[in-house]
Structure 1
Amino acid sequence: MFHLWNRNIKSVKLFFRFLFFQMATLIHTLADHNDDVNYCAFSSSCLATCSLDKTIRVYSLSNFAELPYSPLEGHAYAVHCCCFSPSGLVLASCSTDGTSVLWDTRDGRRLAVLEQPGASPVRVCRFSPEAAYLLAGAADGSVVLWNVQSMKLYRSGKVKGGSLMACAFSPNGNFFVTGSSSGDLTIWDDKMRCLYNEKAHDLGVTCCDISSHPVSDSENGCKYFQMASCGQDNHIKLWLILFADFLGVQLKYKCTLNGHSAPVLACAFSCDGQMIVSGSVDKCVIIYETSTGNTLHTLSQHTRYVTTCAFAPHSPLLATGSMDKTVHIWQLDLKQPCAGDTTENESKVAIEDWSEDDVSAWLCAQDLADFVGLFKMNNIDGKELLNLTKESLANELKIESLGLRSKVLQKIEELRMTMISVAVPDEFLCPITRELMNDPVIATDGYSYEREAMENWISNRRSSPMTNLPLHSLMLTPNRTLKMAISRWLETQQK
């Protein structure tokens, strides 16, 4: 039995081996800033960049044209960082002027100016995963959580020494990590309590990022968050973070990625966690495979220090910014496993034609191996897999855990999206999750949302995700017209 299982796992690894990209093609260069580019950030539809020239510029991903309200002006000094809220409706920026500013991405309107206590230059800012808070870190080491809805200070803290240079939230929002110029990585919980501190980089941390995909540790079977950090010591380090009530916080060093010959100023995970990109004082951008640490590509088109890099969340795009005042946009061209691989033909089988064994392989590749027996018992092949719903998972497959049902549905939705060859119309995307809606409902603010996302939203707050105004009722009405339109559109894309 063990030998059969081992052989099956090996075939799964072959069948769903990570798809390396063949090349990174420079498809566009943005040269609108008149000073160093400090940061760039993606939403599902836009790219934002900020600069020493005191401005933030916003571009459409459809044609890389600058939006009519761009550039955003209002900071008195250099803008160091910018980031989108998870819905993409709000853009935050922070500056040497000691403020963080919130902007409406629909019209460029300034929503709020948040003044850092002590008026210290703000170096970095990040939204929490549910956009309830904005984290702002400053040169004096102060760390502030702002309540986005009330625009009031929620919590504040301070690192032990040095300036705060980097921060990242865990995907579930239970904790966040900060990095300082003294070289420390500090883990905080959502109540701003310092849980752990580690000397990570001898000459100072410059950036950190946490992958949205947890990984399994074979030693004890735990699920860890994977984090990357980089610093003035020329290194990128990978870490595993375990955050659990019964174990506290554990930070485990995993490995060091080498390749840069000078301080590394930026690092970021791809959306699926399979790749890491870094930018350095050596003017190079390096893309690594996360699982092996192998270098996949080195890009050397910038003429000065590379200060920022970011992967787009829903498209094979990479943005890199530099002190040469430009932002390069790269297209990552994917290829299937190399010719001669015994699984080449299998990987091209249409999803609806998958056998039950193909579905089992997919489950294992998505870290859902515990469901293989259940799916086989219910004869779930590719066609059945694509037709699974929240109701069928609960009532027919008897998956009791809401969290597990949601995880399976999310993976199935990602699978469905791979079958779609054109961009999804924006009106079919939930404003909260920015994913294709399956059960759209109309809230009393007049906007349509995915039911589960909106139910989770109003369970924690009574305001509109779109306008931030109070909802006069929590009633949600099924939008059957929109649901039919989405179904018809999906049918046309799958023909």
Structure 2
Amino acid sequence: MVSLICSLQNHLDDVNWCAFSSTLLATCSADKTIRVYSTRDFTELSFSPLSGHGYGVHCCCFSPCGQYLASCSTDATTVVWKMDTGEIEAVFEHPGRSPVRVCAFSPDSSWLVSGASDGSLALWDFPSRALLRTGSVPDTTMVACSFTPCGQLFASGSTYGDLRIWDLSMNQLHAEKYAHDLGVTCCQFAPQMMKGMNNVSIFRLASCGQDSLLKIWLISRVSTTVSPVSAPLFLSLWCRYVTSCAFSPTAPLIATGSMDKTVNVWMVEDGSSSHGESLKQKKAFSRKWPGHSRLMVSEWSEDDVLSWLREEGLESLIDTFKANNIDGAELLSLSKESLSTDLRIESLGLRSKVLRKIEELRTAPVSNGIPDEFLCPITHEIMKDPVIAADGYSYEREAIESWINTKTRSSPMTNLPLQTTLLTPNRTLKMAICRWTSSQ
């Protein structure tokens, strides 16, 4: 199940890429900038936007620890930025000076790979800033790349429409031709690795393309053999050409960028039977609108509806809705015919957008006013001592310790084995909870 939770509209040109760290979301654009947001409330950081590239920025990616952000551009460079200050840490020049279209860190930050318009790939030793080896796919442009959670393999995607799996020696282990009919625009592995029968490693790979589809692939690895294990899940997205997608490492979220200059953040839930029970424990992450987040839509006043129109970028309809005294109940009852006949909205595109936004309201859960990331997934109560477990999720310390001691060593959220029982204090989340609690 996929549901839209927010839309960001700060870029002035096509959004080319999205990337998550544990606390940040970065986006880059043909407007030559990189923008960085807090995932707590999706507000932009003080040093954002980052400006330093001479041409459009094609890709950005965080180092696993979140300390650095890499970005690459038509200017044939990959720039690494410090995330505490927004300053430049290093600049990598791609071999052959070809425009760099994609870059990606390995999970342990040992490697940085970059791909270019001439089909070449460059593998860098990040700690030493040295070029290790190169590879290439002829007659195409390399536009997508992502490492597996183990860091021993990476995937690439090209404008030819293929997805390829490589090892660190630049050997091609698998090629999925025509993965997207009109060309791949992005691919990314999910941060958690799954285990199949006979201890086979299974990875989830998301890819998107100019066919406006997001596909979720399951890929297995046995020794040096790599192959798909199931047909991909197809998700048709509500926007013009989808250019990028990114998994959050700490929440069930995917961000997608588009040529309509917007970034959409989606919640994704796995409906498979093996994960069913744990998914029932999740709190829905719902959109909230200032002034009426605690109300059901049917209880909205006329002013609430006008506020919603402003939030959704539908200001042109405010006078029409105000003249017709549209409140929440009437809003939910609007149809294609009533928009055209009663409200006399002539634009087919505008009517379609309104209907789509109303459908989001119908399917969105009611908010109780408490930010969902403040609630422990086990107790469903506001956390006092949040800690990060090996699955990347935050829990109340006492609750996750009790879970580990009384249950098998599996994640409460994914049912997958926890690689370690080490718990890391989430001080940023604790401070955010304290600030929110004090304001109530």
- TM-score (structure 1 length as normaliser): 0.54
The CA RMSD over aligned residues, in Å, is 4.3
Partner of 2:14: 36
Partner of residue 359 from structure 1, selected from 382, 407, 411 = 407
- 1:6-34 deviation line (CA, Å, top 9, x unaligned): xxxxxxxxxxxxxx99x8654x8563x44
Partner of 1:124: 102
Work out whether residues 284 and 302 of structure 1, in 8 Å CA contact, stay in contact via their aligned partners in 2.
Answer: no
Q: 1:289 aligned to 2:269?
A: yes
Partner of 2:90: 112
> Which amino acid in structure 2 is aligned with residue 409 of structure 1?
T
Displacement, 1:275?
5.4
2:236 partner SS: coil
Partner of residue 100 from structure 1, selected from 72, 78, 81 = 78
**What is the rounded CA distance, in whole Å, between the counterparts of 2:244 and 2:202 in structure 1?**
22
Q: 1:206 aligned to 2:185?
A: yes
Q: 1:408 aligned to 2:385?
A: no
Partner of 1:438: none
Q: 1:237 aligned to 2:215?
A: yes
Partner of 1:84: 62
Partner of residue 236 from structure 2, selected from 255, 259, 263 = 259
Summarize the Cα distance change of 1:284–1:74 in structure 2 as closer, same or farther, 3 Å threshold: closer
2:46 partner SS: coil
Summarize the Cα distance change of 1:212–1:204 in structure 2 as closer, same or farther, 3 Å threshold: same
Summarize the Cα distance change of 1:88–1:210 in structure 2 as closer, same or farther, 3 Å threshold: same
- 1:17-75 deviation line (CA, Å, top 9, x unaligned): xxx99x8654x8563x443333333334444332222223445567735334x443331
- 1:434-490 deviation line (CA, Å, top 9, x unaligned): xxxxxxxxxxxxxxxxxxxxxxxxxxxxxxxxxxxxxxxxxxxxxxxxxxxxxxxxx
Partner of 2:174: 196
Displacement, 1:113?
2.0
Displacement, 1:266?
2.5
Displacement, 1:122?
1.0
> Which amino acid in structure 1 is aligned with residue 73 of structure 2?
S
**What is the rounded CA distance, in whole Å, between the counterparts of 1:351 and 1:54 in structure 2?**
45
**What is the rounded CA distance, in whole Å, between the counterparts of 2:176 and 2:313 in structure 1?**
33
Work out whether residues 214 and 236 of structure 2, in 8 Å CA contact, stay in contact via their aligned partners in 1.
Answer: no
- 1:378-424 deviation line (CA, Å, top 9, x unaligned): xxxxxxxxxxxxxxxxxxxxxxxxxx7xx1314xx27x869x85449
Summarize the Cα distance change of 1:141–1:87 in structure 2 as closer, same or farther, 3 Å threshold: same
Partner of 1:75: 53
Displacement, 1:192?
1.8
> Where does structure 1 lack aligned partners over 5 or more consecutive residues?
1-19, 304-331, 337-345, 370-403, 426-495
Summarize the Cα distance change of 1:229–1:60 in structure 2 as closer, same or farther, 3 Å threshold: closer
Partner of 2:306: none
> Where does structure 2 lack aligned partners over 5 or more consecutive residues?
277-283, 288-310, 315-363, 369-377, 382-397, 435-440
Work out whether residues 55 and 79 of structure 1, in 8 Å CA contact, stay in contact via their aligned partners in 2.
Answer: yes
- 1:279-332 deviation line (CA, Å, top 9, x unaligned): 5568895644334599x99999589xxxxxxxxxxxxxxxxxxxxxxxxxxxx9
Partner of residue 176 from structure 1, selected from 138, 154, 164 = 154
**What is the rounded CA distance, in whole Å, between the counterparts of 1:122 and 1:47 in structure 2?**
21
- 1:173-204 deviation line (CA, Å, top 9, x unaligned): 00000001111111111122222211122221
Work out whether residues 66 and 83 of structure 2, in 8 Å CA contact, stay in contact via their aligned partners in 1.
Answer: yes
Map of 1:210-359 to 2, 5 A cutoff?
210-217=189-196, 222-245=200-223, 248-260=225-237, 263-271=241-249, 274=252, 276=254, 278=256, 285=264, 287-292=267-272, 351=399, 359=407
Summarize the Cα distance change of 1:45–1:301 in structure 2 as closer, same or farther, 3 Å threshold: same
> Which amino acid in structure 2 is aligned with residue 254 of structure 1?
A
Work out whether residues 169 and 175 of structure 1, in 8 Å CA contact, stay in contact via their aligned partners in 2.
Answer: yes
Work out whether residues 135 and 144 of structure 1, in 8 Å CA contact, stay in contact via their aligned partners in 2.
Answer: yes
**What is the rounded CA distance, in whole Å, between the counterparts of 1:366 and 1:281 in structure 2?**
33
- 1:71-126 deviation line (CA, Å, top 9, x unaligned): 43331111111122122222211001111112223333323221112222111111
Map of 1:365-376 to 2, 5 A cutoff?
367=415
**What is the rounded CA distance, in whole Å, between the counterparts of 1:29 and 1:417 in structure 2?**
26
**What is the rounded CA distance, in whole Å, between the counterparts of 1:301 and 1:333 in structure 2?**
18
Partner of 1:379: none
1:118 partner SS: helix
Work out whether residues 16 and 243 of structure 2, in 8 Å CA contact, stay in contact via their aligned partners in 1.
Answer: no
Summarize the Cα distance change of 1:183–1:297 in structure 2 as closer, same or farther, 3 Å threshold: farther
Partner of 2:133: 155
- TM-score (structure 2 length as normaliser): 0.60
Work out whether residues 212 and 273 of structure 1, in 8 Å CA contact, stay in contact via their aligned partners in 2.
Answer: no
> Which amino acid in structure 2 is aligned with residue 197 of structure 1?
A
> Which amino acid in structure 2 is aligned with residue 92 of structure 1?
A
Displacement, 1:156?
0.8
2:407 partner SS: helix
2:50 partner SS: coil
Map of 1:408-447 to 2, 5 A cutoff?
408-410=420-422, 413=423, 422-423=431-432
Question: How many residues are paired up?
Answer: 322
- 1:326-355 deviation line (CA, Å, top 9, x unaligned): xxxxxx98999xxxxxxxxx9669738969
> Which amino acid in structure 1 is aligned with residue 231 of structure 2?
K
**What is the rounded CA distance, in whole Å, between the counterparts of 2:213 and 2:72 in structure 1?**
26
The answer to which of 360-369 and 46-55 deviates more is 360-369
**What is the rounded CA distance, in whole Å, between the counterparts of 1:356 and 1:136 in structure 2?**
40
Displacement, 1:224?
0.5
Summarize the Cα distance change of 1:127–1:424 in structure 2 as closer, same or farther, 3 Å threshold: farther
> Which amino acid in structure 1 is aligned with residue 201 of structure 2?
K
**What is the rounded CA distance, in whole Å, between the counterparts of 1:121 and 1:74 in structure 2?**
15
Summarize the Cα distance change of 1:193–1:359 in structure 2 as closer, same or farther, 3 Å threshold: same
Q: 1:136 aligned to 2:114?
A: yes
Partner of 1:447: none
**What is the rounded CA distance, in whole Å, between the counterparts of 1:214 and 1:363 in structure 2?**
12
Summarize the Cα distance change of 1:333–1:102 in structure 2 as closer, same or farther, 3 Å threshold: farther
Work out whether residues 41 and 83 of structure 1, in 8 Å CA contact, stay in contact via their aligned partners in 2.
Answer: yes
Work out whether residues 234 and 264 of structure 1, in 8 Å CA contact, stay in contact via their aligned partners in 2.
Answer: yes
